[in-house]
Chains A and B, each alone.
Chain A
């Protein structure tokens, strides 16, 4: 079968197969824990899917991860401990929001740098345009005379 990704449009990439993810038997009895599990699931990538979180994916691997997350939570892990555990096991690829480290510096840094840089650039431009464009110069007497003759000659044409 041709890979779904080769199909034209953005919808095709998202859907590996339309079905739903979290199965009824996975849901934890404790609603507080279940909410935490769902929130964590949205931050974790189904590693065999294209850009799907394990919360959205119906792949068997995603199911395993969902069950794993719930196991750790039931054992009393904090959210951070669950994430750390998964990163240690599967690598950083599992996080949909990469951590700020040296190799993600550009990813996290570029947008704010661009925004601040843009603001600074605009500030400089405004300052400069003010300094090179002082108040409009007053016409000299000679120029004023020439202007009036021109205006008069235009007026007499009509």
Chain B
């Protein structure tokens, strides 16, 4: 009963989506208020039906209904409840249902909270949102139905891929999808504006909170995915420049550029055409990411060619939406006048610099990810593009961005004073240079890049603090004035400084873990002690331990530092009988911002075991930095909501002081 209910609810959502695709557009043409209002109810009801459909699938999984094909293939009756739940999206079909659930959620949110939008703009936004939704409902119903029944009900499921039986699956994909799909709102706003042929600073003000929200989720989603990979993979890497990672990085880079250009548009009514283009590109990159991951084209061009149904369907969606939106853009963009002039050295100029480098970085990732596929498809030649390529090309672009980062917020709008800003950054540059010198001296000149990188991170961090002290007048003005200024400072200004501080933290973590991490590869016997950096590791022996749906071999170790025991670590190897697969559970011990990381290799006959033991100084800063960036974004978001929620902004605007 449940699978049929879920299937039927999804068909109803499609029907509502079709209505919503047409009615509001017609309503906006014929000035029919009833048709325009209809979109609000259909958007909310669409979400309700997709939610019912999703809930039905969840029930199938949680009750282990193996008559449903996807449940049989991806679940097991002895799996812990949390993994029964998360395996709903641990496979292609279910993850697409999660995709449309989030898409319809965003549609419903625009319908519910978009009360301050002009009626026709809102109608068009909801219609475009529904076009996307319908395409994906059809994709699920025609090629990836998660509710298909098996002719005979198997007694037991095939289990979820053991690698995915992790709390990471509960956190990472939903966050990533909230980010990916969240950019659809910016896309819909851009298309709606192009259809209406009207675009102004107010548009940027409406679209910015949605973009910011998607960006926050994507930032956190990528960071959580990176941490998941780090502790699951067993060798402590945190970013691999894998095509699937790149697929999530590209919308992040474009979305970050969009956030910055939308600021210029909102404040100065400039960069309008560019901002619209970025909004289209950001979601297009999300769609391309979906195509790359979902079509199987990454596994091999040939695998894609042998079973192309899904891939071709998504490719058609891609061509339709990206091609259609860019064609619309090309035909309408010339009508949009560029407003708001500014000198090259100005806040706007700095944001243009940011956009140029972020989009080039995005292009670099794009070319690096797709070039091997294109080359193989066209000439049959096979080349590999991996981490060494990306480090070499992407790295310098990001260094340039970081160097410019502290200048941007300190420059004035319209016409800035670079010399004046440089003077205000003397402290930051001084501290940065000092850090370079100190690190270089301590390191004994082993590496040139690392001291420079740490110095750059310090420069950006101090620069963010300088921005705040300049704005609040700290150290210059009496404390009471500073307090008043600090509380009067827009939250977006705090958000900017905090987010910039966060990315410098991440950079520091990456450099530190990559440069000063130490590693020990050895075979240890019970009773033996090995040492690495300031830590000693004593091996106590192996024990067998049963788990709910696996059995594991656990290696017991004691960690000592400075002659005293600071704790125990227990890395293990788990064997999952249902899939005949095993996973390697690394043991982590956090020391300050650094981590000890221990993973197991093969066990010998004499009770010995191969180990790989790492000390990764400051590695936690990588993800902490991302969380700080997210908090900066959240603070900025709360600022916008207050502003947008303000009653009758027009009446007040005459009195509001300029920022």
Contact = CB atoms under 8 A, between A and B. Distances in A.
Interface of A: 1-15, 17-24, 27, 42-43, 45, 50-53, 56, 91-98, 103-104, 106-108, 110-111, 114-115, 118-119, 122, 126, 129, 133
A10 B583 contact: no
Contacts of A107: 367-368, 371, 385, 389
Interface stretch (B9-17, B36-44, B87-95, B191-199): B87-95
Contacts of B168: 11
A53 B387 contact: yes
A5 B383 contact: no
Given A10-B293, A42-B388, A91-B382, A15 B232 contact: yes
Contacts of B397: 111, 115
A3 B299 contact: yes
Contact of B235 (A23, A56, A98): A56
A102 B135 CA distance: 40
Contacts of B359: 114, 118
A95 B387 CA distance: 11
Given A20-B584, A104-B383, A6 B352 contact: no
Interface string B23-63: 00000000000000000000000000000000000000000
B233 A122 contact: no
A111 B360 contact: yes
Contacts of B244: 9-10, 12-14
Contacts of B234: 18-20
Nearest to B230: A11
Given A1-B579, A13-B242, A95 B384 contact: yes
B243 interface: yes
Interface of B: 73, 89-92, 95, 161, 163-164, 168-169, 172-173, 176, 225, 228-229, 232-235, 237, 240-245, 247-248, 293, 296, 298-299, 303, 338, 341, 344, 352, 356-357, 359-360, 363-364, 367-368, 371, 375, 379, 381-389, 392-393, 397, 521-523, 579, 581-584, 599-602, 610, 612
A93 B90 CA distance: 31
30 contacts: A3-B303, A5-B299, A8-B90, A9-B95, A9-B164, A9-B176, A10-B225, A13-B244, A14-B244, A14-B245, A15-B163, A19-B234, A20-B599, A45-B386, A51-B242, A53-B386, A56-B233, A56-B235, A92-B382, A95-B383, A96-B388, A97-B385, A98-B389, A110-B363, A111-B360, A111-B364, A111-B393, A118-B360, A122-B356, A129-B338
A62 to B, nearest CB: 12
A20 B233 CA distance: 8
Contacts of B387: 42, 53, 96
Contacts of A17: 581-582
B521 A22 contact: yes
Contacts of A11: 163-164, 168, 172, 225, 228-229, 232
Given A7-B92, A15-B163, A18-B584, 4 more contacts: A10-B293, A11-B232, A97-B386, A106-B367
A93 B228 CA distance: 29
Nearest to A38: B519
Which 7 pairs show the lowest CB-CB distances between chains A and B? A96-B386, A10-B244, A97-B388, A5-B299, A8-B95, A18-B584, A111-B364
Nearest to B168: A11
Nearest to A129: B341
Interface centre among B338, B357, B382, B383 (most CB of A within 10 A): B383
A111 B383 CA distance: 18
A91 B384 CA distance: 11
Contacts of A110: 363-364, 367
Contacts of A129: 338, 341
A122 B296 contact: no
Nearest to B95: A8
A120 to B, nearest CB: 11
A119 to B, nearest CB: 7
B383 A92 contact: yes
A157 to B, nearest CB: 16
Contacts of A94: 384
B225 A9 contact: yes
B181 to A, nearest CB: 14
Contacts of A6: 91-92, 296, 299
A96 B584 contact: no
B523 to A, nearest CB: 5
A16 to B, nearest CB: 9
A14 B579 contact: no
Given A50-B242, A97-B389, A12 B163 contact: yes
Given A50-B298, A97-B389, A10 B379 contact: no
A8 B93 CA distance: 9
A127 B228 CA distance: 49
Nearest to A3: B299
B73 A8 contact: no
A93 B385 CA distance: 9
B235 A20 contact: yes
A53 B232 CA distance: 17
A10 to B, nearest CB: 4
A64 to B, nearest CB: 17
A104 B173 CA distance: 34
Contacts of A50: 242, 298-299
Contacts of A9: 95, 164, 169, 172-173, 176, 225, 244, 293
Contacts of B163: 4, 11-12, 15, 18
A57 to B, nearest CB: 10
A122 to B, nearest CB: 7
A97 B582 CA distance: 32
A146 B582 CA distance: 85
Contacts of A43: 388
B176 A126 contact: no
Contacts of B522: 24
A52 B388 CA distance: 12
A8 B173 contact: yes
A20 B601 contact: yes
Contacts of B243: 13, 51
A68 B244 CA distance: 30
A23 B364 CA distance: 34
B360 A93 contact: no
Contacts of B235: 20-21, 56
A93 B161 contact: no
